[in-house]
Amino acid sequence: MKKSLMSTFTGAHYVVFFLLFVCVFIAYALHNYAFFEVKEHFSGEVLFRKPVKVGTVFTLEYVHSVTKQPVYEDYKIEDKRILSMVEMRYDSFGANLPVGPEKMAEETTGFIVEDGYYKVLYENRKFAKVPLRVGQVVADHTLVFKDGSKLRLLDVAEGGAFVEFYVRPLLSLSS
């Protein structure tokens, strides 16, 4: 009696098809996600990593060193490698805070007063990385995400540390 080699692989093509389907499904499900990371600038050490969906808006909150009032900067994850600053809000003028619309090389900002805040609106303020010196005394920089999670930068870096936050693809050959 002659055994057929093919009988051993009778269901193999179904398994291969199923695995291929699962891989395509996972790739499709994750194609719109990236990693949000905070890294120490000089050492390159990643201090924080969070998967985020492209299009998500998050806020950098801090206390202004002169006015001692909160400032809110909203950023949007434009794509897997680009952040854009969307809006800045504050309730009193202070050093380095705009007092009206600003004309820059790439854009003119909007400026409105609404809900008790001065709001600076940006249309073309894009960043690959946002550099930040972590406040030592007053600022208490905190990242607030739409899912309710928060990252107080002093919990992952020392006051005065030079950090950067940015997004990168979930799967990339160069981190």
pLDDT in tens, 72-127: 999 999 999 999 999 999 999 888 888 888 888 878 899 999 999 999 999 889 99
The dihedral built from the CA positions of residue 43, 48, 54 and 56, taken in this order, carries a sign that is negative
Mean pLDDT rounded to a whole number for the chain: 87
- Position 142 scores a pLDDT of 97
- Position 4 scores a pLDDT of 53
CA nearest 124: which of 169, 163, 76, 81? 76
Q: Report the pLDDT averaged over residues 149-167.
A: 97
The answer to whether the CB of 26 falls within 8 A of the CB of 32 is: no
Q: Report the pLDDT averaged over residues 16-31.
A: 64
Residues 6+ apart with CB under 8 A from 146: 56, 57, 58
- Position 175 scores a pLDDT of 47
Confidence band for 3, pLDDT divided at 50, 70 and 90 = low
Strand order in the sheet with 110-114: 110-114, 117-127, 83-90, 70-77, 57-63, 142-145, 150-152
- Phi/psi of residue 112, nearest 5 degrees: -135, 160
